Structure 1
Amino acid sequence: MFVTQKDADERRKAEGKKVAKRPVEIGQMTVTAQKQEENVQEVPMSITVFDSMDIEDKKIESIRDMADFVPNLMIYQHGMSGQNAPTMRGITARPESFRVSTGLYVDGVPILTGPGFVNEMLDIERIEVLRGPQGTIYGKGTETGAINIITKQPDNEFRGRVSAEGGKLLSAETGDKEKEEFSLNLSGPILKDKLFFGIAGKYYQRDGFIENTITGDTVDGREHWFGRAHLRWTPVDKLDISLIASRLEYDDDAPNFNMGENGAAMFGLPVPEDRKVTSDLEGKNKSSCDSQAMKIAYDISDSLTLTSVTANWEYDDNSLSDWDFSPATLSHGDKDSEYSKISQELRLNYSAERLKWLVGLYYDRDVFDIDYKIISDIPPMAGIHSRDIDGHTYAVFANLTYPLTKRLSLITGLRYEYEEQDFEDNISHLKADDSWNELSPKIALEYCFTPAIMTYVSASHGYRSGGFNWTATDPQYYSYDAEKLWSYEIGVKSAFLNNRLILNGSVYYTRLWPFLIHGCWANLLKLLYLA
């Protein structure tokens, strides 16, 4: 079936009228938050889930849009497209650290840096936002939670959608600006019951509306491309193989800055006008994100499944920005960096009526190549950084759900993770290396008063792994250790009126010790120990 946006909307209205005639049930959504299929109301943790209908109804087009509907979660853009910093339960990590406190996973591909912390919400099956430490199952970078995005699987049904939007942004100051957006997704069988395909793509363009008073041009235009291809093969009933590749490109004007009222007053300058900047630099912000993943799932029996997820992720960042708020060349930033991660996870899942367990192995390799120049006509202000960071992570983990009585179950898990990194300064030729290891346990009890009312209590450990400060000038601050936390949570999940009313709630207490603080630019991260 292939439909246009208009046809889809009309069909949806008709279906909505039919649905309105029968009782509406909610809360019967299956999630894979613990890397096994479970009803969301039976998982002992705080979870917010969006299915494809929720994503469409709420017009969720990015992870920042999604965050507006999730308690305890904020995601702010770090000045440029393609760079975001998630904050969950009040804890965050700046993108310059190449670490996150909340991990992002797209079809099993881990995205654990602020640069590249993005995903287009096109042809998405489900979004799961897990609040609280997820170190036992997901590992580093999930000290406060994880965001799990699952795209739609192609199958025997042909599905398609085309969407086009256009319009103008009205501005009396800089003139009307155009905006346009096109998207497409199509999926279906190549060979019935055996081979399936899926494609999705999007183009977005918006004119700028901030004027550079030096050149008279607008300086904040946006142009984005996105594409994804999915090939799924099921040669036998027990085997499911998926290959997924995607690319996201940003070709934007550079972010521009101006002084605020206090800054202008300090230097005796007039207050800057809104949406106007003065810069002698055209600037740019070009970046791209590539991802390839292969997932193989084999059902050994009705209860036992072996799963392998192999992934490659790369993010390139090329930007030129004016940081000095003036037409003079006092401080221009020129950045050309590359980040990449290759990961492999192998896990064995067992799932019976109430007894569930999984064991797994994990490996990844991170490579960060960072080149950054500060261009200035004043020699003391100029500088250059050219540094490489190469790291490896090894982990083994297990998780168990065990029924103690008819109504009481124990959930426990443990993960051991070892990480090592090599650091090299390409200017001074200084080299350094460091390593970290961490045990991440979790224990929880859940009690079902009725099939519709469950309460739980849990204690879990999370951490943000150690690393290197790529901007540090003092060797004593080159590396930093991991930030660690324990979180304790009590919650209840309940359904009433034949699943027409869902009432969930939780309270939590989190203790960080030690924790990372962001210092001045030269000494980016420091570890602070407090009782």
Structure 2
Amino acid sequence: MNTNKIWLAGVAIGALMAGWSLPTHAQTSSNASDNEAEPQQASLQLEEVVVTARKREERLKDVPISANVQSGAELAANGVANLEQMTNYVPNLTIQPSPGTPSMYIRGIGSGPSNLAFEPSVGLFMDGLYMGRGRQTSTDFLDVGRIEVLRGPQGALFGKNTSSGAVNITTNVPTSEFEGMLRSTGYFDGDEGFDLTGVVSGGLTDKLAGRIALGYSNRDGWIRNTSNGDKQNPKRENVQGRVTLAYQPNDASEIIFRGHLFDYQTDGDYMSSFPFGTERSLTRATTPGLDEFDDGNGANFGLTGNFEFGDGYTLTTISGYSSFEYLKQLDSDWSPDPFFKSQFGESFWQASQEIRVTSPVDNAFTWIAGAYFHRAESDEIITRSFITFGPFDGTSFRIMDQQTTSVSVYGQAAYDFSENWKITGGLRGTFEKKNGFYDRTSAGVVPGTWLETDLVGEIEEEAFDPSVQLQYLTGPSMFYLSYAKGSKAGGFVSASSVVTQDGFVYSDETSSSLEAGAKLDLFDRRAQLNLAVFQTDYKNLQVAAWDPIANAAITRNAADATSRGVEAELMARLNESLTFRGSAAYLDIKYDDFPGANCLYDPNRLPGPCLENIGGTRVPRAPEWSATAALDLDRPISENLNLTGRISASYRSGIFLDDTLAPASYQSGFTKIDARIGIGGVGEDWEVALIGQNLTNELTASHALGTPFNATSESYALDKPRVVGVQLTLRR
């Protein structure tokens, strides 16, 4: 599609929004009577945003946490299908896909993708259930209500592996009245294909309601494989479904069951390598005839019960079970030469139980107390490496078993000691045990660094994560000062052919954060401004990085790191039809001390293993500046028709994509523009919309690494180019 046409379309959408807003503003200011002023003002007030960031429903502006909340309905309407695409919508959040397992970063800190056994530094929770592995949520969003991105350590209440933050996903619950929704999005430019979602909800009896959501996606990919008949990569087919039942035997009790099944198949990959000094393009060249695939399936089940007793006390129980299995094969040198091929796979399950009691919310003293149990097993984490390079012609086969048992107790109490002052304190104690066994064998002629020794490890750890927040409330505004500690348990190195017994076990990671912030209601609730300034200190930071010399993934503890910065978010109702949303973040993040790290890139260094202290260097893939801005339009244009639209921009400053800070991996700052314009019924029973993502067609990558067996090439995970589609939504 012609770039000039895209720009003209974006300008037209912006002008259309502005045009629709001006008459309303003029009429309000010149014609509205005094009697109409109060209703008009009320209609311009922002809706309250409700979150469960502290395990009970609260208004976002009352929570002393830097949080970004995205509506599931808005994400779906704008074609944001999964967590990876949310990177462009939330400053200081990065979702990194990888050949192994996806990784999340908040404020520059996360767990790299190279260790398949890694649990994240950013905890992911879905409907109250902890999802410790990226593959548990590897499909697209399905019937999501909202997504809360909680920045900073969340150890006291969420606990399990939240040393840098948490992502809290809540799906929609059944409705008592019948409702149905069918949404189909067809993409004709960029990543061609279609997505289909259907939802049916309603009462089954006077006490039981049900909801069924089904999703299917078939996309052709955005990278041309020049070695494989100009085939597009990666082609994906996903199918999933969720059944939700809500049973309310009386006014004081509710039980909700959720069952989610998913299956996905991927043909090809998004990794591509380019020689130093050449420009990247949406092409890749792999070994002809080599089948690249990523196939998996899984299930998530949850049972939540809420029981009120006494004078407003609530007992909550959350029982969960999750499992998945997958197998992935890829051309690991990302070149037409048959040098290196890899396979990854895993069979995993987990079971968890949480029970907690919350006090009434209308007292000066409120509290919450609970306990959590978690059991997880990876019966087989497999890695196969096939090498045919120079004198080598052989195979390495590694298989790891891992068991985790975690028990924790927690509590939080808050006291309003005046009309203006409130203090909250929390503490969680966690006791964790892990066992790991690593079996390695090889056949044929393989590099001498590919070891065959078996490895055994056992970890027993305990952690205590406190938090305290002091709040000052004045009128419609709230100011807060917060301290929080987070922790992440140690673990074992998987997938590596070179690790020895001394390096098989890495220790726990801890963080402590100081944050000051404000949440301000402005202009009679027509605008809300949230501000936060923070500093988080990490000890024994766990880092998983690719060593291109050893052609292996290495996981170790960095000694210290510091993340500090400022975050701001603004939402404002400009008039009845137009809403502005904007956010920005500044981030300064460095390793304070990191002995034994892989050496930074040096073209004059002789080939061979190299370790050094990289303290003082900036953590890669963490932009210094990130920002988003969006205008939303929602306006009736006749008695039966309604016009909606959005134009948004996302900016990220320049970063190094490779852990070695290789110059070839430097990515300059960029801005991506998304837009949407739709027309539908006033009652929202139907809508047709044109949506576009990355309209400026920026060519970017999410991360990079040194190409195996090629010291003059860099490999990149290439992001999507411009994507344009048409969306049809029907509701009843």
**Residue 195 of structure 1 is aligned with which of 183, 200, 208?**
208
Percent of pairs with identical residues:
26
2:371 alignment partner, one of 354, 361, 364: 361
- How many angstroms apart in 1 are the aligned matches of 2:49 and 2:539? 36
Distance across 2 between alignment mates of 1:224 and 1:336: 18
Aligned counterpart for 1:44 among listed residues 64, 76, 82: 64
Cα distance between partner residues in 2 of 1:502 and 1:437: 40
* Aligned pairs for 1:385-396 within 5 A: 385-396=398-409
1:7 aligns to what? none
Query: 2:133 corresponds to which residue?
Result: 113
Deviation at 1:253, TM superposition (A): 0.7
The CA distance in 2 between the partners of 1:349 and 1:119, in whole Å, is 33
Q: Which deviations, in whole Å up to 9, do the C-alpha atoms of 1:168-195 show, x marking residues without a partner?
A: 337xxxxxx8512211011100002x01
TM-score, scaled relative to structure 2: 0.64
Cα distance in 2, alignment partners of residues 167 and 527 from structure 1: 44
8 Å CA contact retained: 1:196, 1:233: yes
Q: 1:47 to 1:256 in 2, by over 3 A?
A: closer
Displacement of 1:150 in angstroms is: 1.1
Q: How does 1:101-180 map to 2 (within 5 A)?
A: 101-118=121-138, 120-169=140-189, 178-180=192-194
Shift in Å, 1:102: 1.2
Within 5 Å, which residues of 2 pair with 1:510-521? 510-519=536-545, 520=547
Are residues 1:73 and 2:84 paired?
Answer: no
SS in 2 for 1:50: strand
Q: Check conservation: 1:256, 1:277, Cα contact below 8 A.
A: no
Give the C-alpha shift of residue 263 in structure 1: 8.4
Alpha-carbon displacement from aligned partner over 1:479-520 (angstroms, at most 9, x marks no partner): 111111100000011112221111110100111122223353
Partner of 1:267: none
Matched, 1:277 2:307: no
Q: From 293, 299, 305, give the equivalent of 1:290.
A: 299
1:527 aligns with 2:557: yes
What CA distance in whole angstroms lies between the structure 1 residues aligned with 2:167 and 2:297? 21
Q: Secondary structure at the match of 1:66?
A: helix
The amino acid of 1:387's aligned partner reads M
Indicate the SS of the match to 1:471. Answer: coil
State the SS of the aligned residue for 1:64: helix
Q: Secondary structure at the match of 1:298?
A: strand
Higher relative contact order (CA 8 A, sep 6+): 2
Aligned-partner SS, 2:484:
strand
Shift of 1:359: 0.6
Please state how far the C-alpha of 1:26 moved relative to its aligned partner: 1.8
Counterpart AA for 2:469: A
Answer yes or no: is 1:507 the counterpart of 2:496.
no
- Partner residue in 2 for 1:6: none
- Structure 1 residue 242 displacement after superposition: 0.9
- Alignment of 1:476 with 2:489, yes or no, is no
- Tell me how far apart the structure 1 counterparts of residues 281 and 489 of structure 2 sit (CA, whole Å): 43
The residue number in structure 1 matching 2:386 is 375
C-alpha displacement of 1:248: 2.4
1:319 alignment partner in structure 2 = 328
Q: Using the alignment, how far apart are the partners of 2:541 and 2:419 within structure 1? A: 41
How far 1:231 sits from its partner (Å)? 1.1
* Match status 1:493 vs 2:519: yes
Deviations 1:330-370 (A, max 9, x none): 21112221222211111111123243211111011121221
Instruction: State how far apart, in whole Å, the 2-side matches of 1:88 and 1:419 are.
Output: 24
Deviation at 1:237, TM superposition (A): 1.6
1:419-434 superposed matches below 5 A:
419-427=432-440, 430-434=455-459
Secondary structure in structure 1 of the residue aligned to 2:86 = helix
| 1:492–1:506 contact (8 Å) kept in structure 2 | yes
Q: CA 1:496–1:168 in 2, change beyond 3 Å: closer, same or farther?
A: closer
- Give 1:459 deviation, angstroms: 0.5
Distance in 2, matches of 1:53 and 1:224, equals: 20
Change (3 A) 1:482 1:41: same
Give 1:364's aligned amino acid: H
| C-alpha deviation, 1:390, in angstroms | 0.7
Structure-1-length-normalised TM-score:
0.88
CA–CA separation in structure 1 for the residues paired with 2:537 and 2:272:
39
* Superposed CA offset, 1:399-442 (max 9, x none): 11111222111100000001111111234554321111100000
2:110 maps to: 92
Matching residue's letter, 1:191: T
Q: Which residue of 1 aligns with 2:464?
A: 439
Alpha-carbon distance in 2 for matches of 1:302, 1:225: 45
C-alpha deviations, 1:66-92, integer Å up to 9, x for none?
A: 332223211122247xx4211101111
How far has the Cα of 1:121 moved from its partner?
A: 3.0
Paired amino acid for 2:356: R
The equivalent of 1:414 in structure 2 is: 427
What is the identity, as a one-letter code, of the residue corresponding to 1:277? A
Q: CA offsets per residue over residues 182-228 of structure 1, 9 Å max, x none?
A: 11011100002x01110111111122454444442515211111211
**CA contact under 8 A between 2:412 and 2:426: conserved in structure 1?**
yes
Question: Aligned to 1:232, which of 242, 246, 249?
Answer: 246
SS of equivalent residue, structure 1 residue 447: strand
Give the 3-state SS of the residue equivalent to 1:436 in structure 2: strand
Q: Is the 8 A contact 1:229 1:245 kept in 2?
A: yes
Query: 1:91/1:126 Cα in 2 relative to 1: closer, same or farther (>3 Å)?
Result: same
Tell me, in whole angstroms, the C-alpha distance in 1 between the residues paired with 2:386 and 2:353: 40
Give me the whole-angstrom Cα distance separating, in 1, the residues matched to 2:553 and 2:147: 37
Structure 1's unaligned 5+ residue stretches are 1-12, 171-176, 265-270
Instruction: For residue 273 of structure 2, give the secondary structure of its aligned residue in structure 1.
Output: coil
Offset at 1:299?
A: 0.7
Asked if structure 2 preserves the Cα contact closer than 8 Å seen for 1:331 and 1:382, the reply is no
Could you say if the C-alpha distance between residues 279 and 302 of structure 1 is closer, same or farther in structure 2, counting changes exceeding 3 Å? farther
Report if the CA contact (8 A) 2:112-2:543 is conserved.
no
Q: Report the AA paired with residue 336 of structure 1.
A: G
For the 8 Å contact 1:331–1:374, the answer to whether it is kept is yes
Give the deviation of 1:56 after TM superposition.
Answer: 4.6
SS at match of 1:477: helix
Counterpart-to-counterpart distance in 1, 2:275 and 2:412: 55
Asked if the contact 2:183/2:197 (under 8 Å) is kept, the reply is yes
Q: Give the 3 Å change call, closer, same or farther, for CA 497–185 of structure 1 in structure 2.
A: same
Query: Counterparts of 1:455 and 1:290 in 2: how far apart (Å)?
Result: 42
The 1:272–1:156 alpha-carbon spacing in structure 2 relative to 1, beyond 3 Å, is closer
Shift in Å, 1:257: 4.5
Q: Which residue of 2 aligns with 1:460?
A: 484
Structure 2 unmatched ranges of 5 or more: 1-19, 25-38, 441-452, 561-592, 594-732
Verify the 8 A CA contact 2:271 2:284 in the aligned structure 1: no
